[in-house]
């Protein structure tokens, strides 16, 4: 019994650390704090994310995924994001239940397949697999009357009283948008959670997000995009990636993400809408993948340790057998 309890504790620590990789910090405290913050603001999302994440891990292990891939935590991370997307964009009902049940196996399969494909291109996988998995679920299920999409207008934050307030709140909401919740309280809580792993990361993410939102406002972005902080989440995550050297991203990439954040996000929203889909993390993924492919081959080989958001010396936390 003590051994089973110890294994369960190690597995739980591994799992919450995998969620912490969202911010390129492999620290169970960061992951646990982020999950707790989301559970307070949006408990349905947190529960869905954890449920899909756990199932995805089990399915990937049963499907024979390589042990070194399982040890990265990327299956759990993509399951977490797929669960969040399902809870955000499906209304409660049969459609949500079916998407939740199918999500774990689907994202596990997507992660295994995309890992093999992306390895030939020398491109980091990180949260790539959850996006096509969600698009397939959403496009397939919402074609039926019993699978209703969520009413996003009802969840929109109230209008800000002034442009300055809209920018300030939008900057914090940009961090909340990482977990698909435009809530300034969640954004502040996530910044505090990331600080547990690296004291520079939280304030850097807030600064990047707020600056990008301000540029979007000055450029004439729609008010709802400014108030929800949609321009901010990609620069915030790129700033976090730059702090740890993920995929060779540096401060030049951060500057480009900040200046171009509002434009890239607006383009992603329009392109996704043309296919009846939601952009979700598409702008962030495209940005990192483009920069990864632009890097010289010799630099990519030298820094491939960052492809999974963790160092190669990362100890094995629990046995998969």
Rounded Cα distance, 227 and 259, in Å: 17
Rounded Cα distance, 11 and 13, in Å: 5
Q: Which residues pair with 90 in a beta bridge?
A: 149
- Could you give the domains of the chain? 42-155 (no CATH), 160-311 (1.10.3430.10)
* Single pTM value for the model: 0.90
Rounded Cα distance, 43 and 35, in Å: 9
Please compute the mean of the pLDDT values over residues 2-21 and round it to a whole number. Answer: 86
Terminal alpha carbon distance of the chain: 17
Given a cut of 90, whether residue 29 has pLDDT beyond it is yes
Higher pLDDT: 9 or 196? It is 196
Question: Angle formed by the axes of helices 233-244 and 251-274, to 10°?
Answer: 140
Distance set, CA 8 to CA 1, 4, 97, 122, 156 (Å): 11, 6, 27, 34, 38
DSSP per position, 199-232: TTHHHHHHHHHHHHHHHHHHHT--HHHHHHTTTT
Q: Exposed e or buried b for every residue in 213-223, given b needs 16+ CB within 10 A?
A: bbbbbeeebee
Element (H, E) at 74: helix 74-89
Q: What are 214-269's pLDDT values in tens digits?
A: 999 999 999 999 999 999 999 999 999 999 888 778 899 999 999 999 999 999 99
Residue 157 pLDDT class (50, 70, 90 cuts) = confident
């Amino acid at each position: 019994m003590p051994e089973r309890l110890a294994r369960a504790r190690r597995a739980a620590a591994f799992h919450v650390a995998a969620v912490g990789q969202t911010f390129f910090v492999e620290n169970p405290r960061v992951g646990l704090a982020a999950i707790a913050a989301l559970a307070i603001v949006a408990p349905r999302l947190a529960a869905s994310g954890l449920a899909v994440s756990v199932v995805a891990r089990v399915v990937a292990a049963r499907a024979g995924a390589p042990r070194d891939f399982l040890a990265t935590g990327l299956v759990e991370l993509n399951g977490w994001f797929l669960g969040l997307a399902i809870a955000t964009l499906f209304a409660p009902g049969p459609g949500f239940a079916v998407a939740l049940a199918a999500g774990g196996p689907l994202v596990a399969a997507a992660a295994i397949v995309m890992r093999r494909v992306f390895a030939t291109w020398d491109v980091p996988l990180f949260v790539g697999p959850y996006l096509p998995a969600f698009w397939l679920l959403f496009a397939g299920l919402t074609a039926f009357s019993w699978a209703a999409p969520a009413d996003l207008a009802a969840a929109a934050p109230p209008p800000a009283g002034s442009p300055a307030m809209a920018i300030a709140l939008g900057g914090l909401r940009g961090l909340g948008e990482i977990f698909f919740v435009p809530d300034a309280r969640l954004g502040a809580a996530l910044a505090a959670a990331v600080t547990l792993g690296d004291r520079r990361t939280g304030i850097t993410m807030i600064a990047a997000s707020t600056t990008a939102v301000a540029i979007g406002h000055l450029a004439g972005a729609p008010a709802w995009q400014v108030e929800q902080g949609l321009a901010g989440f990609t620069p915030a995550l790129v700033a976090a990636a730059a702090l740890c050297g993920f995929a060779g991203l540096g401060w030049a990439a951060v500057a480009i993400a900040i200046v171009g954040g509002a434009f890239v996000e607006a383009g992603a929203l329009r392109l996704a809408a043309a296919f009846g889909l939601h952009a979700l993390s598409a702008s962030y993924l495209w940005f990192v993948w483009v920069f990864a492919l632009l890097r010289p081959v010799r630099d990519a080989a030298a820094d491939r340790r960052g492809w999974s958001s963790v160092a190669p010396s990362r100890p094995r936390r629990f046995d998969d057998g």
